[in-house]
Amino acid sequence: MGQDREERRQVSCRQGAGQRPQVHGLPVNYRHAFHAGSAADVLKHVVLLETLDLVLQKPKPLFVLDTHAGEGLYRLQPEGEADEGIRRLWGRRGEWPILGGYFEAVGRFNGTRLRDYPGSPLLISERLRPEDRLVAVEEASGAHAALQQVLRSPHSQIFLGNGYHALKALLPPRERRGVILIDPPYERVTERSTLLTGLKTALQRFRQGIYLIWYPIKDKRDAERLVAVLSALGDHLCVELLTWPADVKSRLNGSGLLILNPPYGLKKRLGEVVPTLAQILTRDGTPRYRVR
C-alpha cells in the first residue's frame, strides 16, 4: 500500500496538460472518441491482445502499464472512423477465426449489435488474471473521469497524470515482468522527443520490459525516421498496416507499432494475423503491411 501511495504521488504531478486549451478536461484538438474503432485502433488492439496472450502463458504475475489510457469505452459515432475499422470486420467476423480472440474481446462490451468500442485499458483488464496488475495513466481530467466509471477491477489502478512520468515512477515493477503500451496522440510537436527520452529512461530502469509503441503513418519518411530511432534501442519487431498507399494524401494512411523485446512467437503469430487484417482493411484493394 505504501508503495502504491508513493506511485500515485509521483505520477500525479501533472505537467503539460495545462499548456493546451481544454474542454471538459479534454484537449480541444484531440478526442479519441472520433477515432475509436478505426483501422489504427484495430491493428493496435489486435497486436496488444496477441502480445498479452503469449506473455500470459507463463504463470508468473504480470504488470501492464498503459501510459496514454484514454476514456476506456467509446460509443461508436455514426460518422466516426470505425466505418474504416471495426465496422468493416464486425458483420463478417465469422469468416476470420484467426481474429476470434479480438472479436470475442470487443463482443464482451456489446450485445448482438456493435454499439461500443473498448479501449486499451478495458481490453487489457479483461485479459489479466487476478495475480496480474494494470496501471492506466491518463492526462486529461475528463477522459480520466470517464475511465474511472468504466474500469473497475481489483487489479487495475487509474492515475491522472503524465504517462511519460509514469515510465520513471512505476518502473521497474515489483513483478519484474511487464508490458508497457505507449499510445500518444502525436499532436504536440515535441511528442517524438518526449517519447524517446521517456523510453530511454524506461529502458534504463526496466531493460527486459516489453514495450509497444504506437505511431501514425501520414508521411512515410517521418514514420521511417521514428522507426529507425526506436529500433536502435534494442531487439524489436515492427508491424505496420497501410489502408491507403503511402503517397495518397489522406488524414492517416496507416499506422504501426514498434515492439521492443517482443515475446517469443509474436513475430510468427502476427505474420499470420496482420496479412488478414490488411486484406480486410485496405481501402483500394491492395493489402499493404509489414511484420519484421
What's the rounded Cα separation, in Å, for the pair 230 and 227? 5
User: Was 45 annotated as part of a binding site?
Assistant: yes
Q: Which is nearer to ligand SAM, 81 or 132 (CB)?
A: 81
What's the rounded Cα separation, in Å, for the pair 176 and 53? 18
- Contact pattern for ligand SAM over residues 176 through 215, marking x by CB under 6 A: -------xxx------------------------------
Site for ligand SAM in 4-33 (CB under 6 A): 16, 30, 32
Q: How far is the CB of 284 from ligand SAM (least distance, A)?
A: 25
User: Was 68 annotated as part of a binding site?
Assistant: yes
- Contact pattern for ligand SAM over residues 50 through 89, marking x by CB under 6 A: -----------------xxxx-------------------
User: Was 250 annotated as part of a binding site?
Assistant: no
CA 216-67-46 angle, 5° bins: 55
How many residues at the interface with ligand SAM, by CB under 6 A? 21
- Pairing outcome for strands 133-138 and 210-217: unpaired
Q: How far is the CB of 118 from ligand SAM (least distance, A)?
A: 8
Q: Which is nearer to ligand SAM, 181 or 260 (CB)?
A: 181
Q: Which is nearer to ligand SAM, 36 or 242 (CB)?
A: 36
Give yes or no: 247 in active site: no
Task: With residue 274 as reference, give the H or E element that holds it.
Answer: helix 266-281
CA 166-171-177 angle, 5° bins: 125
Q: How far is the CB of 59 from ligand SAM (least distance, A)?
A: 27
Burial class (CB in 10 A: 0-12, 13-18, 19+), 232: exposed
Burial class (CB in 10 A: 0-12, 13-18, 19+), 97: exposed
Q: Which is nearer to ligand SAM, 139 or 240 (CB)?
A: 139
Active site residue: 132, 183, 222, 284, which one? Answer: 183
Grid cell for residue 4: 502504491
Contacts of 260 (CB under 8 A, 6+ apart): 199, 203, 209, 210, 211, 213, 230, 233, 234, 235, 236
Q: Which is nearer to ligand SAM, 67 or 285 (CB)?
A: 67
Q: For ligand SAM, which residue of 164, 206, 244, 289 counts as binding (CB under 6 A)?
A: 164
Is there binding between residue 127 and ligand SAM (CB under 6 A)?
A: no
Is there binding between residue 140 and ligand SAM (CB under 6 A)?
A: yes
**3 state SS of 194:** helix
* Maximum pairwise Cα distance, the chain: 55
The 3-class SS string of 195-241 reads: HHHHHHHHHHHCCCCEEEEEEEECCHHHHHHHHHHHHCCCCEEEEEE
Q: Residues annotated as binding site for S-adenosyl-L-methionine? A: 45, 68, 120, 138, 162-163, 183
Which residues are tagged catalytic?
Answer: 183
Residues at the contact surface with ligand SAM, assessed by CB under 6 A: 16, 30, 32, 44, 67-70, 119-120, 137-140, 143, 162-164, 183-185
Q: Residues annotated as binding site? A: 45, 68, 120, 138, 162-163, 183
